[in-house]
Amino acid sequence: MTYLDANATEPLRPCAAEAMTEAACIVGNPSSIHTAGRAARALLENARETIARALGADPLNCIFTSGGTEANALALHALGVGRRFLVGRTEHDAVRQSVPTQAPLEWLDVDQNGQIRLDLLEQSLAQPGALPAFVCLMFANNETGVLHPMAEIVRLCRHYGAHLHVDAVQAVGRVELSLLEQHFDSLACSGHKIGGPKGAGALLIQNTTHTSFTPLFVGGGQEQGRRGGTPALPSIVGFAAALQDALQHPVAYESLRHRLEQAARSLGAVICGEKAPRLGNTSCLALPGQKAQTQLMRLDLEGICVSAGSACSSGKVTISHVLEAMGLGDLAGQAIRVSLPWNVTEADIEQFIQTYTRLVAISTKTP
Amino acid sequence: MRILVAMSGGVDSSVVAARLMEEGHEVIGATLHLYTAPQQVQKGTCCAGQDIRDARSVADKLGFPHYVIDAEQRFQESVITPFIDSYAAGETPVPCVACNKGVKFTDLLDLAREIGAEAMATGHYVRRVERPNGVELHRPRDLDRDQSWFLFATTRTQLDFLRFPLGDMPDKQSVRHEAERFGLAVADKPDSQDLCFVHNGSYSQLVERKYPEMVGSGDIVNQEGHVVGQHEGVLRFTVGQSKRLGNAASLKGERQMVVGINPQLRRITIAPRAQTSMNTLTLREVNWLIDPPDQEVECWVQMRARETPRRARVMPTSQETAFVFLADPAMPAPGQACVFYQDSRILGGGFICRPNTEKPI
């Protein structure tokens, strides 16, 4: 099997497996005041320190969640009260579906490269007399890897007093990020996209964000009353270990991806978002006239794991809202996403190219 | 060989997959996502209906790949909308024929070819018989489960590629025993009832949403146009029906039946049973599973899903139309299928046109 679906989830890093196994054997609940509890608490706070520092945030404002979806939902719910939402059209469903139902909502268009239209963003922000804005834009797109012009976005948001929430689920561990230095107001991330275990994510908040905080659930008041429930210690500890490892051992994805894209292009594939700066590990390949579903099945039957669009719970492949928003028309239903994990090898890329080439050759033969 | 199995999540197609696995084939399961049931929307469960889950769990248990295919839009356009429009035209449609012909035996079959399958199998109860001069489609061994009538529109090219492993099963119980033998959780799953996309048992809601003018009571008239009674909605009626006519069921001692439906005027026309039957009918969208004949064919025709075939002669009038001469008069419902049989073999079939009002295409 050749696994090239990192943006869905990455293989567990050995250091994360080791750290989480160790944490799983700790008996205490981090909220307990006895020796066992304190031992668990120490591990938890250690992980918090590691993750917050790595992402340029204050550990006090690092809230652990069950993953990226919850971190995003918590941000919108807890920090967006009384604001109007400006949400990018290419955002992940974790954001698109989490906007509070009663809140005013405006969609932000992207250009054909998948980048936010800054002119339109400014137009929306500058609306006279409107509620203060809550802007949701992802750092890197999960389907195309496209990066928004974040420095400009930050400048605009600060100028108009908007809260900028950044879904950095795909970017964390793959690019350098700092909440404080880049002036994001909040940021969501997840452990399993960078080789950590599933079940842990975090919401980081800028220290200067002085908004009231309404948690999704209160429970026993964990995470300083901002996220109830016993934290998933093994997953959180694994997340911290994976993040450290990812930042210490960056992978030279670009050269591998370049080879892959060159081969795909020569076979007639269109690379979506190619002209924009992109995350190095992600490639979105559209084959004109070939349904994404069929490409996916054929690659899978040949042992290649990639994906298309965003899979819904039934597993059916739907037309990509991201590529639709980029104005790619029919190609929105004809693209697959290849995303390279931390342990990708040259042989994996070769395997993909060979199989993809064979499939394209067969489909051009079929009437 | 690599075979794609169209899996509905029911016991029949699950047993098909299991048997083909046992025979050593490379099985690939596919379940069409055709519609989103209203209760699923309410629960916010997106589209992972129970049937899809069942199909997937069978695939997981037996260890073959399974895929969910999005066919929602195609199903809406090629099955549900024509179904609704057909009712609005006063017909009694058979959506299963359109679904088998289009979504299943065209789209899914194309997909099967594209992924390199050499055949596609379904859980339909029909028999495919290979003869030296071609493949034939026959009624199944278990006549209680006969689905051949719904498959008349299958083309010979499609039939070449298709497999129906349940055609030889003696009865449904044997299929359930097979499912138990394979340890499938769906062994006791009840058979699907009625039309798959109709929820709460009422297709009239679907029709009424698009054609609100069809809602409500209306007149029952005789052939002279005199009002002889009232009805509670045209959608409760089919041409040829005698039920639900209330006091108009019998006039002057003569039993009456529906001979016409006008949905726009919400009017049901009735006539005495004895006078209404006809000997000839016109068919559209005719499909032949034999070499298209250039002269009359003596055969048996079946004009409803469950009825005894009648003697008839079928005369092709063009590539896609035919004229049927019934040996004994009958009252067929426009929109239903008229399928031609010779013993157990399907020769072909077509859809019944409205008399006089409809020109064959």
- Nearest beta carbon to residue B47 from set A293, A297, A312: A312
ipTM for the assembly: 0.87
Confidence band, pLDDT 50/70/90 cuts, at residue B320: very high
**CA–CA distances in Å: residue A291 to residues A298, A336, B65:** 11, 9, 19
- B351: phi then psi, degrees, rounded to nearest 5: -95, 145
Chain A: residue whose CA lies nearest to B28: A301
Q: Does A361 touch chain B (CB under 8 A)?
A: no
- Nearest beta carbon to residue A314 from set B28, B48, B116: B48
Contact B115 A362 (CB under 8 A): no
Q: What angle, 0 to 180 degrees and rounded to 10, lies between the N-to-C axes of helices A346-365 and A253-266?
A: 10
User: Which residues of A are annotated as catalytic?
Assistant: 312
Contact B69 A316 (CB under 8 A): yes
Give the three-state DSSP class for A58: coil
Q: Does A318 touch chain B (CB under 8 A)?
A: yes
pLDDT at residue A266, rounded to an integer: 97
pLDDT tens digits, B153-196: 999 999 999 999 999 999 999 999 999 999 998 988 888 767 88
Helix (H) or strand (E) holding A78: helix A68-79
Chain B: residue whose CA lies nearest to A295: B115
Whether the per-residue pLDDT at B256 is higher than 80: the answer is yes
Q: The tokens of A149 are what?
A: 């012009």
Q: Does A314 touch chain B (CB under 8 A)?
A: yes
Question: Contacts of residue B74 in chain A, CB cutoff 8 Å?
Answer: none
Domain with CATH 3.90.1150.10 in chain A: 2-9+251-365
- Nearest beta carbon to residue A366 from set B28, B70, B114: B114
Contact A314 B65 (CB under 8 A): no
Question: For the domain bounded by A14-248, which CATH number is listed?
Answer: 3.40.640.10
pLDDT tens digits, A120-165: 999 999 999 899 999 999 999 999 999 999 999 999 999 999 999 9
Q: Which domains does chain B have, with CATH numbers?
A: 2-188 (3.40.50.620), 216-275 (2.30.30), 278-352 (2.40.30.10)
Confidence band, pLDDT 50/70/90 cuts, at residue B76: very high
Q: Does B135 touch chain A (CB under 8 A)?
A: no
pLDDT at residue B45, rounded to an integer: 40
Contact B48 A312 (CB under 8 A): yes
Comparing A209 with B213, the larger pLDDT belongs to: B213
User: Which residues of B are annotated as catalytic?
Assistant: 99, 196
Superfamily grouping for domain A2-9+251-365: Aspartate Aminotransferase, domain 1 (3.90.1150.10)
Q: Does A313 touch chain B (CB under 8 A)?
A: yes
Question: Contacts of residue B8 in chain A, CB cutoff 8 Å?
Answer: none
Confidence band, pLDDT 50/70/90 cuts, at residue B356: low
Give B131's strand partners: B134
- C-alpha–C-alpha distance, residues B248 and B221, integer Å: 9
Question: Contacts of residue B70 in chain A, CB cutoff 8 Å?
Answer: 293, 316-318
Residue B253 per-residue DSSP state: T
Contact B69 A293 (CB under 8 A): yes
Contact A316 B65 (CB under 8 A): no
Whether the per-residue pLDDT at B299 is higher than 90: the answer is yes
Tens digit of pLDDT per residue, chain A (367 long)?
999 999 999 999 999 999 999 999 999 999 999 999 999 999 999 999 999 999 999 999 999 999 999 999 999 999 999 999 999 999 999 999 999 999 999 999 999 999 999 999 999 999 998 999 999 999 999 999 999 999 999 999 999 999 999 999 999 999 999 999 999 999 999 999 999 999 999 999 998 766 688 899 999 999 999 999 999 999 999 999 999 999 999 999 999 999 999 999 999 999 999 999 999 999 999 999 999 999 999 999 999 999 997 666 667 788 899 999 999 999 999 999 999 999 999 999 999 999 999 989 877 665 4
Mean pLDDT for the stretch of residues B15-19: 97
Confidence band, pLDDT 50/70/90 cuts, at residue B361: very low
Chain B: residue whose CA lies nearest to A291: B111
Long-range own/partner contacts, residues A103-110 (CB < 8 A, 24 or more apart) = A104/A131, A108/A135, A108/A137, A109/A325, A110/A325, A110/A326
Q: How many CB atoms lie within 10 A of CB A236?
A: 30
Q: Which residues contact A185 (CB under 8 A, 6 or more apart)?
A: A79, A157, A163, A164, A165, A205, A206, A209
In sign, the C-alpha dihedral spanning B68, B72, B74, B75 is positive
Mean of pLDDT over chain B: 90
One-letter amino acid at B29 equals G
pLDDT tens digits, B38-70: 655 444 444 448 889 999 999 999 999 999 999
Domain with CATH 3.40.640.10 in chain A: 14-248
Torsion angle of C-alpha atoms B256, B257, B261, B263, degrees rounded to 10: 80
pLDDT at residue B162, rounded to an integer: 97
* Length of chain B counted residue by residue: 361
Chain B: residue whose CA lies nearest to A333: B70
Contact A314 B69 (CB under 8 A): no
Where does B40-140 show beta strands of DSSP type E? 66-70, 119-121, 127-131, 134-138
pLDDT tens digits, B300-309: 999 999 899 9
pLDDT at residue B42, rounded to an integer: 42
- C-alpha–C-alpha distance, residues B271 and B280, integer Å: 18
> Chain A interface, mutation test: which of B60, B70, B157, most A Cβ atoms within 10 Å?
B70
pLDDT at residue B273, rounded to an integer: 82
Chains A, B: CB contacts within 8 A come to 50
pLDDT tens digits, B231-255: 988 888 888 888 888 888 888 888 8
Q: The tokens of A191 are what?
A: 């452990």
